[in-house]
Amino acid sequence: MSPNIDTVAVHGGEVRPGPEGSVVHPIYQGTVFAVPAGTDYHDIKYLRLSSTPTQNYLHGKLAALEGAEAALATASGMAAISATLLTFLKTGDHIIVGDTLYGGTQDFLDHHAPELGWTVTAVDPAKPETWADALTPTTRAFYVETITNPLMRVGRIPEVAAFAREHGLVSIVDNTFASPVNFRPLEAGCDIVLHSATKYLNGHSDLVAGVVAGSAELVARVRHSLNHYGGSLDAHAAYLLARGVKTLALRVERQNANAAALAEFLAGHESVTTVNYAGQSWHPDHEHARTFLSGFGGMLSLRLAGGVPAAERLIEGLELPYGAPSLGGVESLITRPALTSHAGMTREAREAVGITDDLIRVSCGIESAEDLIADFARALK
Ligand SMILES: *Cc1c(COP(=O)(O)O)cnc(C)c1O
């Protein structure tokens, strides 16, 4: 029987016994290690080559979490995303992407795809019947996010994997919002899973890191390009990330529960007009999301009857959540995506995809649900 994710988070990838019998794997901060004769350049132990003992230890832990043959830690989520796309797409290639992407990913494609000679077609990841129309003879990859920001839409990820396999594409899933506690894309047949480890995996809002996981062969290809692009993760950040991962399951289970309870409270409140949370039966993706997600995550968004002024008063009136972007930490955060994550888009473009100026996004932390709801109830008054 394979162990549960709670156990994997603690014991997965651990080296036993650790160096000197250590229970906590130490930080090897050194940039370089002695090289035996005949070592291939890409196998030299050097921090930029992501091959030093603390990095290797973290890679084992991350691979265990996603049920992957191999994993690679990167200097940020964007380093994982850009190195992966630059590995699998060449000049003249075409990629199919989900129609709502993390702002940085969208900006990367908008600004660099033309100069790299890539073409991009966006599809609705919840509508498999529309995907075949997007295929071209040079389509190489299908890129989606498990749960999208900030409307919490959930694509049909197992169908994305099957479609990609059928048409010879690499399927790439940014699993940041779900975390491996709620969904493991590789088990659903996807080829590559990406994370901004800055969010749930680390969980303490104190480092920036990314992850690429998948088969040994595909991850080796990404690592080879990352060695040249230079976006490796420093050993100290690698150590902190492994430390954060040990409590991942506990944190995310609480964050799932807090978001579900807060969504239910908000949906029943007279000042709230909309709540977006895939765990609730009214959400457009609930029926298919529940077939493969074991939890719906700690993120939700809402709108108030009073529009932007009411949204501002709520954010200012809350005592527990910080008014800040980013997500996935132990402390709750609240923000208006129109001012933060989606500030780069025009109002028309935002409204076309449902990101209105008054939309409020909440990243639930691990506080007590009772206290969070009481804080919202008070601030909504
Ligand atoms: C934050 C985020 C990223 C980018 O990660 P960084 O660590 O900030 O580079 C990518 N995808 C998603 C879904 C994110 O939330």
- pLDDT for res 1: 67
Give the ligand 1 atom nearest the CA of 327: 15
Q: Tell me, in angstroms, the distance from the centre of ligand 1 to residue 78's CA.
A: 6
**Residue pLDDT, tens place only, 55-97:** 999 999 999 999 999 999 999 999 999 999 999 999 999 999 9
Give the ligand 1 atom nearest the CA of 326: 1
Residue 19 has pLDDT above 70, yes or no: yes
Which residues neighbour 140 within 8 Å (Cβ) at sequence distance 6 or greater?
88, 89, 90, 93, 94, 95, 169, 170
Give the ligand 1 atom nearest the CA of 81: 10
Region for 211 from its dihedrals, namely left if φ exceeds 0, alpha if ψ lies in -120 to 50, beta otherwise:
beta
Protein residues with CB under 6 Å of any ligand 1 atom: 76-78, 102, 104, 145, 149, 174, 176-177, 196, 198-199, 208, 210
- pLDDT for res 307: 96
**Residue pLDDT, tens place only, 239-281:** 999 999 999 999 999 999 999 999 999 999 999 999 999 999 9
Atom 8 of ligand 1: nearest residue by CA position: 77
Q: Tell me, in angstroms, the distance from the centre of ligand 1 to residue 201's CA.
A: 12
Give the ligand 1 atom nearest the CA of 209: 7
Residue 190 has pLDDT above 70, yes or no: yes
Percent of the chain with pLDDT over 90: 92
Q: Where are the domains of the chain?
A: 5-245, 249-380
Q: Which two tokens stand for residue 27?
A: 């930080």
Query: Are 149 and 77 contacting, i.e. CB atoms less than 8 angstroms apart?
Result: no
Q: Tell me, in angstroms, the distance from the centre of ligand 1 to residue 202's CA.
A: 12
**Residue pLDDT, tens place only, 313-332:** 999 999 999 999 999 999 99
Atom 7 of ligand 1: nearest residue by CA position: 77
Task: Give residue for tokens 């080559």.
Answer: 49
Q: Tell me, in angstroms, the distance from the centre of ligand 1 to residue 6's CA.
A: 24
**For range 274-290, the mean pLDDT:** 96
pTM over 0.95: yes
Q: Tell me, in angstroms, the distance from the centre of ligand 1 to residue 77's CA.
A: 5
- pLDDT for res 2: 83
Q: How many residues comprise the chain?
A: 381
If you ran DSSP here, which 8-state letter would residue 28 be given? -
Fold of 5-245: Aspartate Aminotransferase; domain 2 (3.40.640)
Q: Tell me, in angstroms, the distance from the centre of ligand 1 to residue 200's CA.
A: 11
- Torsion angle, CA of 148/373/358/201, rounded to 10 degrees? -30
Look at domain 249-380 and name its CATH class.
alpha beta
- pLDDT for res 71: 98
Q: How confident is the model at residue 41 (pLDDT cuts 50, 70, 90)?
A: confident
Q: Measured between alpha carbons, how far is residue 262 from residues 69, 146, 147, 301, 359 in Å?
A: 37, 21, 18, 10, 16
Residue 237 has pLDDT above 90, yes or no: yes
Of 29, 20, 76, the closest CA to residue 53 belongs to 29
**For range 134-159, the mean pLDDT:** 97
DSSP H helices in 320-368: 347-352
Pocket test for ligand 1, best of 85, 196, 205, 301 (most atoms within 8 A of CB): 196
CA-based radius of gyration for the chain: 21
